[in-house]
Structure 1
Amino acid sequence: MQNASTCDPGGPSAATVARDAATIVQPRDSRWVPDPDVGRGGDFCDGLSWVAVEGANSFFPARSRQLLIYHDGTFQGTAIRCEAFRGQEVSSTASDAIRVTYRFVDLSIPEQSRKQDPLGRATVTFRWNGSRVVMDGSLPYAFTKGQC
Structure 2
Amino acid sequence: MQLYKIVYFAHGWYLAVKGRKLVKQSFEAWSYGPVLRILRDQFRQFEKRSIDVKAEVFDIFTGEVFEAPVVSDELDREFIITIFNSYRDYDGWTLSDITHEPGSPWDNVWNSDKPVGNLALRIDDEAIRSYFVQLPNRFVSH
Common fold: TM-score over 0.5? no
> Which fold has the larger relative contact order, with Cα–Cα distance below 8 Å and residues 6 or more apart in sequence?
2
The structure carrying a bigger helix percent of its residues is 2
The structure carrying a bigger strand percent of its residues is 1
The TM-score, its normalising length taken from structure 2, stands at: 0.25
The TM-score, its normalising length taken from structure 1, stands at: 0.24
